[in-house]
Amino acid sequence: MREPGLPEHVRHIYEGEPDEDLIEALEPDQLVDAMESKLPCRLLGRWTRTGLWALRVFVLTMTGLVVYTFVASLGARG
């Protein structure tokens, strides 16, 4: 049943009109099919690549320190 008081652009919300109307509320690149497509790998400059290597070293060193501290604290408990 159609309610005459409702503006056209919102009828589907209240009257359960077909999915075609509802789906217009989504952007095309928001559909699951589009979101599942892969983006290409980013091309990185030399400085960025160097920075990411430095970051890799930082992260692995810090992780090593924390893991050692944790294991040592467990050993101290035992």
- Report residue 55 CA to chain centroid gap: 22
Q: Rule CB under 8 A: is residue 63 a binding residue for another protein?
A: yes
∠ at Cα 29 (11, 9), nearest 5°? 15
Q: In terms of residues, how long is the chain?
A: 78
- Looking at residue 30, the DSSP 8-state letter turns out to be G
- Find where tokens 């501290």 sit: 69
Nearer Cβ to another protein, position 3 or 33? 33
Interface with another protein (CB under 8 A), residue total 47
Q: Rule CB under 8 A: is residue 19 a binding residue for another protein?
A: yes
Site of interaction with another protein (CB under 8 A) = 9-10, 12-13, 19-20, 22-36, 38-42, 48, 51-52, 55-56, 58-59, 62-63, 65-70, 72-77
